[in-house]
Structure 1
Amino acid sequence: MSRFVKPALWTFGALAAGGLAFWLLLALDIPYRSTATPVTTPVPSTAPPPEQRAWVLDVRAGPDDRSAVLHVNLPPCAEAPHARVTEAGDRVEAEVLFRPRKGVRCTPGPADFPITTAAPIGNRPVIVNGGDAWPVAAGPKQCYPGLGCDPPADHCDPAWIAQRNGGADAEYSGTTRSCDQDWLIQDRQRHGGQAATRVVYRWASYGWASFAEAKGGGCAELLAADPKFPTALCQNLAPPS
């Protein structure tokens, strides 16, 4: 029988030693470190969106020889719009910068931003957005990108239409449906195949300015936007295509 007692005592001793070791670990309160990868919650970025340049429609002379006015197309929901001016001996560089508001779509509209220079502007051209050059010394005479200082008298001239289809609208193709000196209708389609939208424009001092859109044919939607719209331009129009 002794041959059975010895293994039993050995087993009991081993269990007792293991229990003692486990008790000592609990008494020492050694912190447990998990090897699993901790789950982290992504923190949304609080960085403001990058600044964008506003599309400059024209540059006019200011009240004195050290000032000018940038006439721009600017979204009304733009945040912190401001003009920035850099001078050189042979030119003045200017731009209007803003931050778009996240998650908001709003139709751009005209806005004026006066600028001042340290030295008289004189015959120096005003370079806007690093590209187009505008002569300001001519005084109140307006000059236009792509049209110069002597634009066509006919507001339906292709040059005026091309100005409308440039800048912020360059991602769209436009088909003119009707036009007179004060009103313009175009069917516009984003490059890529989306359905066309009918856009209606009024003539403004700087060119064509959009004021309404329509999905159907005829005049109902256009007259609802402006009862003065001439029905002769829309009464026979089919829906946009």
Structure 2
Amino acid sequence: MATALCAGILVLLTACGTQVYGQGGERPDSHSTAEPIPWTTMQPSAVTGVRLGADHRTLFLKTQVPSGARACVRKLKAVLTDPATDLVRVQVTFTSPSGDRASGCTKESTATAQVRLPEPLGDRDVIVDNYTHFTADGAKPPALRLCGKLGCTPAATGCTAASYDQALMEVGAPEHTYRNSEKCDGKWLVLDFSWRTGPACGDSTDPACSSRLGDRWFFRAKKSGWEPIIRTSAGGCEDVRRKEPAFPTTLCESLAPLPPSLHPTYPPSSPSPSPDTSG
């Protein structure tokens, strides 16, 4: 009888089974037999910081990775992708089931990966996953400084071509934009620019080849670069001085309205929210 009882218990345990999610178990939202959610190799959504170890050779990389109620990350690692020259290039990867929302890995948390360099970092910059740039120049050790969209040493705010490029980037100017005119005194800026809309062709007399849209933005200088004040197609100073009374009339009183053919009836790719013309 004891033998029969044990056999019965064994059958029940075998029927119930013991499954660990992520190791061959069913999806948490499924009550039927299903394939396990695969763990795939991916990269972090962001690498937000790099710190140099006391040995000057180990890099600690602060990354944003998936998280949830269950394990969401395995095999987090950082590796050198090229021999270290004047730059150190690093790639961060991990495996996760977060590609399927049923995994429950729908949030993010911070995790640290590390890589040891074959020699001290010195004054070299670090590039992570091909596009995130860190430098020791101007940083507070042991941290490296995260560089911005304009690189590690952006142009000083002023009446220069490089600084105007920063202003165009700030308002989300379309690709291949070219500047039509600038009025600048170092503290305030008016920038007119336009971009082609017709097909690419060589006949400059054909309106279909030379049609374009344009915009006019007013800016004030900040330490971080040119800051947008307002966008308008009107001439003169009325719109901008309603928004910013300190804007100098010497830079706007001679402005003509933008031609209707230039000014778009819809906004281009621009910051959200775009400055408006209300008081």
Name the TM tier (shorter chain).
0.3 to 0.5
TM-score when normalising by structure 1? 0.45
Structure (1 or 2) with the greater helix fraction: 1
Q: If the length of structure 2 is used for normalisation, what is the TM-score?
A: 0.40
Give the number of the structure whose alpha-carbon radius of gyration is greater.
1
